[in-house]
Amino acid sequence: MITITFIQPDGSMTAAQAKPGRSLMQIAVDHGVAGIVGECGGSMACATCHCHVDPAWLARTGTPTPGEAEMLDLADGELRPESRLACQIMLTLDLDGLIIRLPHGG
Contact footprint for ligand FES (CB under 6 A): 25, 38-40, 42, 44-49, 71, 85, 87
Min CB(85)–ligand FES separation in Å: 4
3 state SS of 72: helix
Q: Are 83 and 50 in contact (CB under 8 A)?
A: yes
Min CB(1)–ligand FES separation in Å: 23
Residue nearest to ligand FES (CB): 87
- Residues with Cβ within 8 Å of 44's Cβ and at least 6 positions away in sequence, in order, are 67, 68, 71, 85, 87, 88
Min CB(25)–ligand FES separation in Å: 5
